[in-house]
Amino acid sequence: MRHLSISSKTFDAELNDFCRGSVVPREISDAVASILADVQTRGDEAVAYYAAKFDGAKLRARDFRLKPSELAAAAKRVSSAEMKAMIAAHENIVAFNEKGLPKAWTARNKQGAEIGEVHHPIRRVGLYVPGGEVPLVSTVLMTATLAKIAGCPEIAVFTPSNSQGRVADGLLAALHLVGVEEVYRLGGVQAVGAMAYGTFTIPAVDKVFGPGNAYVCEAKRQVFGTVGVDSLPGPSEVMIIADETARPDFAAADLLAQAEHGSGREKVYLVATSGAVLAAIEAEVQAQVKSLSRAEKTRRVLADGFLAVQVTTLAEAAKVANHVAPEHLELMVAPTAQKTLLKTITTAGAIMLGNHTPTAVGDFTAGPSHVLPTGRAGRFFSGLRVADFMRRTSVVRYEKASIKKAAPVVAAFAAMEKLDAHGRSVAIRAL
């Protein structure tokens, strides 16, 4: 665990150094570029090769896509409790995200022209769902549900299989629940490459969505421009801001919940208003980690990716949070302090208020998507929403009277920019 005090003369430099660990190492970017180039060149053959190399799955091209009947069968195999949980989460996700569905509008500008916006779903989207050792069933609901609400005509889901070519029943059951039928048992960089470039058996998509490890995240960055990407959500992060009202056992449990992803690249931040609060929470972390099934991997994250920061004021805590832009931010502070911080912290992916709002409820069931910006991308990206699955198009209509009013404005700009044809195209209509 690493400790910093905001009063230290080297605080800014040390905080930057810790955050800089989120920068993708050169060896990862080079490896990703090589795989993507191979997929672009060899298509299905390359995809099958990397599925075997990284997942141990010996797949032929005809094996890539699962049959809809396999999804339906998986839905029957999961327990009733698991299905009830998925349904409950799905209902909350639908209720929250339907409120964010963009609406068309029209108005008149000062020249009398009709202006407005219309929205259309993206034609074909690709959703990446982490699987394998930790099958993220909730990610299916947090991505595919939004694509369905947006009305995307084609939704293709990619998730890695195990060495036998099997995908976790929970993932398939969730896909069946949402109503997605185009599902590929493929993950990793090769899946992102297939989405971006297409292969003989896999049609290319228009935009790629979903979280992933450092390699998947880097792959999305490299294919951006060939296709759209939602953001670059990579290894998980959480920051807890705690004062004397925080429950140390609650705070410790939430820090460990994000650390247990266990890639080794996760970041957990504890920002506290006193050394006593820090010590109490850290003691709970050490006590609780012993009982975790993924204790070894979690300890690795605690050793390399845990930063404890002591501040003296809430304003200082807000400064730290705004700099880091954490994926998840928990405000375990007094109610009045929550209100203050909610106004001043402007870069967090998602904010959880109070001692009884762990990140896990946001991850699984609250309603907002848990696909959130990481690696300080919260400075310029937001969490996934329905609008991300849609395109906005502006609409403009001028008539004879309104074009005459616009003519002097256009003429002035055309003269300033030395674009006489622009000016003439309006002037000829304003005669």
Q: Check: CB of residue 325 under 8 Å from CB of residue 379.
A: yes
pLDDT at 263 exceeding the cut of 80: no
Active site residues: 327-328
Tokens (6 digits) for 89: 């989460």
pLDDT at 208 exceeding the cut of 90: yes
List pLDDT tens digits, range 355-393: 999 999 999 999 999 999 888 889 999 999 999 999 999
pLDDT at 249 (0 to 100): 96
List pLDDT tens digits, range 396-417: 999 999 999 999 999 999 999 9
Average pLDDT over all residues of the chain: 94
pLDDT at 21 (0 to 100): 58
Who contacts 381 (Cβ-Cβ below 8 Å, separation ≥6)? 231, 232, 373
pLDDT at 22 (0 to 100): 58
Indicate the SS3 state at residue 87: helix
In the chain, % of residues over pLDDT 70? 98
Separation of alpha carbons 274 and 228, rounded Å: 44
Residue 120 — very low, low, confident or very high, per pLDDT cuts 50/70/90?
very high
pLDDT at 306 (0 to 100): 93
Q: Please choose, from the candidates 314, 389, 391, 382, the residue with its C-alpha nearest in 3D space to the C-alpha of residue 349.
A: 382
Q: Fill in the amino acid letter for 200.
A: F
Residue 340 — very low, low, confident or very high, per pLDDT cuts 50/70/90?
very high
Separation of alpha carbons 370 and 328, rounded Å: 9
Most confident of 7-16, 68-77, 125-134: 68-77
List pLDDT tens digits, range 93-103: 999 999 999 99
Q: Which residues of 64-100 are buried (b: 16+ CB within 10 A; e: fewer)?
A: bbbeeebbeebbeebeeebbebbeebbebbbebbeee
Q: Please choose, from the candidates 237, 315, 240, the residue with its C-alpha nearest in 3D space to the C-alpha of residue 277.
A: 240
Residue 333, CA atoms < 13 Å, CB-side half-sphere: 25
pLDDT at 131 (0 to 100): 85
Domains of the chain by range and CATH? 2-24+235-379 (3.40.50.1980), 43-106+121-229 (3.40.50.1980), 398-427 (no CATH)
pLDDT at 214 (0 to 100): 83
What are the beta bridge partners of residue 224?
227
Q: Check: CB of residue 201 under 8 Å from CB of residue 344.
A: no
Determine which of 14-23, 240-249, 310-319 has the lowest per-residue pLDDT on average: 14-23
What pTM does this model have? 0.91
List pLDDT tens digits, range 278-332: 999 999 999 999 999 888 888 988 888 999 999 999 999 999 999 999 999 999 9
pLDDT at 212 (0 to 100): 86
Tokens (6 digits) for 404: 């005459």
pLDDT at 265 exceeding the cut of 90: no
Q: Fill in the amino acid letter for 201.
A: T
pLDDT at 46 (0 to 100): 98
pLDDT at 150 exceeding the cut of 70: yes
Separation of alpha carbons 347 and 312, rounded Å: 21
Separation of alpha carbons 259 and 280, rounded Å: 18
